[in-house]
Amino acid sequence: MPDPDKIMSVALGPQHPGAGHFRIRLWLDGDYVVRADPDPGYVHRGEEKMAEYRNYIQNVPHLERPVILDSSGILFPYAEAVDELMGNKIPIRGQYLRVIMAELNRIISHMYFLGIYGVFEGHTTMITWGLGDRDLFIDLAARIGGARVTFAYIVPGGVRNDMPRDLTEQAIKTCDWFEKRLDEYEKIFLNNPLLQQRTKGVGVLSAQDAIRFGATGTVLRASGVRHDIRRAEPYSVYPDFEFDVPTFKEGDCWSRTMVAVEEMRQSLRILRQAFKTIPEGPVRLKLGPQPRVPAGEVYFRTEAAHGEQGYHLVSDGTPRPYRLKMSDPNFRNMVLLPHLLKNAHIADIPSIYWSLNYWPVSSDR
């Protein structure tokens, strides 16, 4: 047991540039972390309460704000939940466009994760490459949705608008180029001996602990648990596409990084298939500006970029939700921090913290 007189209490964040408006209370014994307590709540949102005062269409723009990196991923389960309550049968072309935007956003989110991770590990080239290459997929999504970053594209009844007819060729070329580019990322960044020394064998999370703590997304799959909602509980048109669910057994920071890279390769597979086989037809049902949703309740979950994103939606038959509750993957992964940081070196905190791909704004929904 450490000597209580030698324990020092410090705070990482919320001002720290690496904490992202998030505070971690640390108790240190020299260079070692004795205890770590996550302290969220610095990004005030109130999304769930705001949803009760807006109708189902008005909720679309503000519900994507907690995860602007993955705006389509966080809206996908909301739209599916509303559609299930209403009994909507979404046009097939609209379903394809939902998947296309979700996978574009998955790449956009993962590239941000890798870019910031590079900075945490002292590899500044990674953020210049990552954010530059990420912009190519933002451009594709902007051409489809008409806006940048916060697309507000997936809506109850389908999607907001159709994509340009000449977009397929540009999209396929971008996917082909980026797949080769990922090989370069592995050579210059992922196989860098300094990165591997700081991530391999660091912050190890066993499969049993990942399940016990309720981990989700890349964190869960990096510990060897092959669980992805797109496969476990297929939704929309995901059963139409061939793709794998990447997993690693090591459960360390390195594995969590590599799962994100391999998932982007699978997103490229899905995007190629979707762009080449998307059928003709309408993309949205005509619901009107204030659709009335039949009374009832539903829970719907999807596999967003950060993990399992779900909505518990209760309707009382009016144009506004009676209750909306978001199940957030970042909040679920946050509980891993005390476990992973205990007995870790201070220098390993950035590696462990950001390997969880934690997004504080989402937890403070």
Residue 227 lies in a domain: yes
**So what's the pLDDT on residue 18?**
60
* Predicted model pTM: 0.94
CATH number (domain holding residue 210): 1.10.645.10
DSSP-assigned beta bridge partners for residue 318? none
Residue 30 lies in a domain: no
Residue 38 φ then ψ, to 5°: -65, 140
Residue 305 φ then ψ, to 5°: -65, -35
CA distance 96 to 73: 14
Tokens 């949705």 belong to which residue? 145
**So what's the pLDDT on residue 16?**
64
What domain range is 291 assigned to?
A: 44-332
Residue 354 lies in a domain: no
Q: Would you say 279 and 254 are in contact if contact means Cβ atoms under 8 Å apart?
A: no
Residue 286 lies in a domain: yes
The tens digit of pLDDT for each residue in 341-352 reads 999 999 999 899
DSSP-assigned beta bridge partners for residue 37? 25
CA distance 353 to 360: 11
Helices (H), the chain: 47-50, 59-63, 71-86, 92-120, 124-145, 167-185, 193-199, 207-213, 218-222, 229-232, 253-277, 329-334, 337-341, 349-355, 360-363
Residue 22 lies in a domain: no
Residue 73 lies in a domain: yes
Walk along the chain (365 residues) and give the pLDDT tens digit of each residue.
566 668 888 888 787 666 668 889 999 998 899 999 998 888 777 889 999 999 999 999 999 988 888 999 999 999 999 999 999 999 999 999 999 999 999 999 999 999 988 888 888 888 899 999 999 999 999 999 988 889 999 999 999 999 998 999 999 999 999 999 999 998 988 888 888 999 999 999 999 999 999 999 999 999 999 999 999 999 999 999 999 999 999 999 999 999 999 999 999 999 999 999 999 999 999 887 788 889 999 999 999 999 999 999 999 999 999 999 999 999 899 999 999 999 999 999 989 998 998 888 888 77
Residue 31 lies in a domain: no
Query: Hey, how many other C-beta atoms are within 10 angstroms of the C-beta on 42?
Result: 16
**So what's the pLDDT on residue 2?**
63
The tens digit of pLDDT for each residue in 147-167 reads 888 999 999 999 999 999 899
- The pLDDT mean for the chain works out to 91
DSSP-assigned beta bridge partners for residue 35? 27
**So what's the pLDDT on residue 255?**
94
**So what's the pLDDT on residue 194?**
87
DSSP string of 185-230?
HIIIIIT-HHHHHHHTTSS---HHHHHHHT--THHHHHTT----HH
Residue 348 lies in a domain: no
Three-state SS string over 245-290 comes to: CCCCCCCCHHHHHHHHHHHHHHHHHHHHHHHHHCCCCCCECCCCCC
Q: Report the share of the chain in percent with pLDDT over 90.
A: 71
Please, what sign has the CA dihedral across residues 203, 208, 214, 219?
A: positive
Q: What is the domain count for the chain?
A: 1
